[in-house]
Structure 1
Amino acid sequence: MSGFAYIVRDGNVAQPILKEALGQDASLSWIHLNTNDERAQLWLGGEAKLAQPVIDALTAMETRPRCDLFGPAALVNLRGMSSEALGDSDPLASIRIYAHGGCVFSVSRKQLNAIQPVRKQVEDGRILDPGDLIAAIAQAITEELDPMVAELGDSLDDCEEHISQHRAFDLRRLVNETRVKAIGLRRFLYPQRAALEKLAGLPVEWLADDDRLHLAAAADRAARMAEELESIRERAALTHETLTDLRAELIDQRSLVIAVAAMVFLPLTFITGLYGMNVEGLWFAKEPWAFDAIAILCLATAFVITAYFVGRHWFER
């Protein structure tokens, strides 16, 4: 089991071992565990002496963003980006936070990118209480997700621009990838917004007014990203339909050219096949001008059929 701990007392920051961070009279004691379920349960239940429902919530295998009130304490699940490999259906890593008074326990199964900048803020003395800490984690998560959502929108803009330039066939895979990413992120950002809004409104003493404002700002930012992802998902669906229509139209045009070519050569094949038979009785077969006459007949037939289709505007459809 790996992790770290911080103690903030009177503006001073210390980084003790995990066990020494327990039961300290400080404005903030932050204990973060980066471990698997079994080892986290043993430590949280043994050394930390947390209640079993809290341990189960902190070490659950599958979590969606949420916020629950446990008396004077709060349990918050958030999702953020990770440097470790994640599945396409679950593109964000979870962090589970339990805050009680001045003590905060956080657990993550994957390395969350937002943890490092928050640790830097704690070490610089800019985080003084649990409200500051949770708000900083939420803001760090949303700040990292915002450029990713904007990049998805820019990618879709490029696809739509290429469609207008008739370069559709190379874009279907890119549109599908953009749509899958948008769906995966949207799946967690909507409940994350609700969790942050609920946390900002909890009747707990350790959340100051400025903490509630920061949480509300992070919730608004998550809501904006969720709305943008919904727009990207709808645009990707429309773009995919447009690409499918363009592909079908192009196939129809090529099929039309093939059909016209077949109609032109069908009578020519019949004529040349007829005079290619090695039998007696073919008209003018022994005349010296027969080959020239058949060639002229074939050219005239091809010209008449082509002129007919051009006159009917088949090639303009």
Structure 2
Amino acid sequence: MKAYCYRIVDGQAEAIDLDRAMAEQCQLIWVHLPQIDAETIAWLHDVAQLDDYIVDALTATETRPRCEAIGHGAFLNLRGRSHDPLDSSDLLASVRIWAVKGRCYSVTRKPMIAVGVVKEEVAKGEIRDPGDLITAFAAAITNDLDPDVADLGDQLDDCEERLDPNHVFDLRRTVSKVRVAAITYRRFLSPQRAALEKLASLSGDWLGDDDRLHIAAAADRAARMAEELESIRERSALMHETLSDLRAEQIDSRSLVISIVAMVFLPLTFLTGLYGMNVEGLPFAKEPWAFDMIAGMCIAISVGVIGWFLRKHWFSG
């Protein structure tokens, strides 16, 4: 079974195997399982000997950010960005963490950027206990998401600057993508803030005061991002309405031109149709100047109709 195990004492991290991880007792044993399959579930049940409720929470298919105190430990579910492309309706991967004093298990279904960041901090000796590890996960996730959320706002700003009837289709595609991303991110960031706030308030000697402060700071950043995403969502909705109005105005303008052209040619069509009939008795049908007369009448009627439209300001909308 693929797993990453670290033995951490006074900030010094040592990579160990699963068997040794289960036998060791020290400041922190961190076991990270990067996939969820039958072997992973069996190991959590039989070897790690975790309660069924905890195993179910660590291996659930559908998850949302939450925090729950269980006995002397805590279960935490957080959402962050992944290296792999995800479904557009679920843009964030999840990391499920079970922490007690001296031991921490984390499970992911999809590769998470935050996991790599936490591993680097472990290697640098910045992690000493479960509280530090959870704080590192929370900070890594928010640090990674922050520029992505800011980029959504920048894309919307760019769309507002390019607002033009000639770019309606391109702008609507961009605005729709930004709106979907903002809605998806906000769906997870709001409960994530609540989960981090709840974690910071939990009792337990495995979570230090400095850890609580850092977790509260991560919760505050999550709240700020959720508010920014709500603003982006509302701006996207307004932008979508504006683009729809521009498109409607564009269609109305083109329909107006078509209507004017049809009105100009309507009397001309009647006149040419009348003299195109192959019957006897048409006025001036035998005269050599009849064609010039008909052509002149057509020109005069066209000028008259266009002049009437101009006086009524039809061409200005």
TM-score bin (small chain):
over 0.9
Counting only pairs closer than 5 Å after superposition, residues 46-61 of structure 1 correspond to structure 2 as 46-61=46-61
Output one character per residue of 1:229-280: Cα deviation in whole Å (capped at 9) or x when no partner. 1111111111111111111111011001100110100000111111112221
SS of aligned partner of 1:56: helix
Counting only pairs closer than 5 Å after superposition, residues 11-160 of structure 1 correspond to structure 2 as 11-160=11-160
Give distance in 1, aligned partners of 2:224 and 2:120: 27
SS of aligned partner of 2:169: coil
Q: Which amino acid aligns with 1:9?
A: V
Give distance in 1, aligned partners of 2:169 and 2:50: 57
Give distance in 2, aligned partners of 1:183 and 1:49: 38
With 39-48 and 97-106 compared, the bigger mean Cα shift is at 39-48
1:259 matched residue in structure 2 = 259
SS of aligned partner of 2:195: helix
Output one character per residue of 1:113-153: Cα deviation in whole Å (capped at 9) or x when no partner. 11111111111111111111100011101111111111111
SS of aligned partner of 2:86: coil
Query: 1:27 offset after TM fit, Å?
Result: 1.2
Give distance in 2, aligned partners of 1:228 and 1:166: 29
Give distance in 2, aligned partners of 1:10 and 1:184: 40
* TM-score (norm. length: structure 1): 0.97
Give distance in 2, aligned partners of 1:126 and 1:142: 18
8 Å contact kept, 2:149–2:229: yes
Q: Does residue 1:163 correspond to 2:163, yes or no?
A: yes
Output one character per residue of 1:131-180: Cα deviation in whole Å (capped at 9) or x when no partner. 11100011101111111111111111111111157532321111111111
Q: Does residue 1:193 correspond to 2:198, yes or no?
A: no
SS of aligned partner of 1:169: helix
1:206 matched residue in structure 2 = 206
Give distance in 2, aligned partners of 1:257 and 1:276: 28
8 Å contact kept, 1:130–1:206: yes
RMSD of aligned C-alpha atoms? Answer: 1.2
Give distance in 2, aligned partners of 1:37 and 1:8: 27
1:236 matched residue in structure 2 = 236
2:285 matched residue in structure 1 = 285
Query: 1:39 offset after TM fit, Å?
Result: 1.7
Q: Which amino acid aligns with 2:180?
A: V
Query: 1:47 offset after TM fit, Å?
Result: 1.1
Give distance in 2, aligned partners of 1:12 and 1:296: 99
Task: Structure 2 unaligned segments of length 5 or more: list them.
Answer: none
8 Å contact kept, 1:80–1:145: yes
Q: Does residue 1:218 correspond to 2:218, yes or no?
A: yes
Task: Structure 1 unaligned segments of length 5 or more: list them.
Answer: none
Give distance in 2, aligned partners of 1:19 and 1:226: 42
Output one character per residue of 1:8-65: Cα deviation in whole Å (capped at 9) or x when no partner. 1133221110221124231111010112242222101111111111111111111100
Q: Which amino acid aligns with 2:73?
A: A
Give distance in 1, aligned partners of 2:63 and 2:233: 23
8 Å contact kept, 1:162–1:168: no
With 206-215 and 160-169 compared, the bigger mean Cα shift is at 160-169
Q: Say how many residue pairs are matched.
A: 317
Give distance in 2, aligned partners of 1:165 and 1:204: 60
Give distance in 1, aligned partners of 2:19 and 2:44: 11
SS of aligned partner of 2:94: strand
SS of aligned partner of 2:127: coil
Output one character per residue of 1:296-316: Cα deviation in whole Å (capped at 9) or x when no partner. 111110111111111101111
Q: What stretches of structure 1 move > 6 A for 4+ residues in a row? A: none
Q: Which amino acid aligns with 1:270?
A: F
* TM-score (norm. length: structure 2): 0.97
Q: Which amino acid aligns with 1:104?
A: C
Identity of matched residues, %: 58
8 Å contact kept, 2:165–2:247: no
Give distance in 1, aligned partners of 2:170 and 2:164: 13
Q: Which amino acid aligns with 1:81?
A: R
Give distance in 1, aligned partners of 2:104 and 2:271: 91
1:269 matched residue in structure 2 = 269
Give distance in 2, aligned partners of 1:169 and 1:112: 34
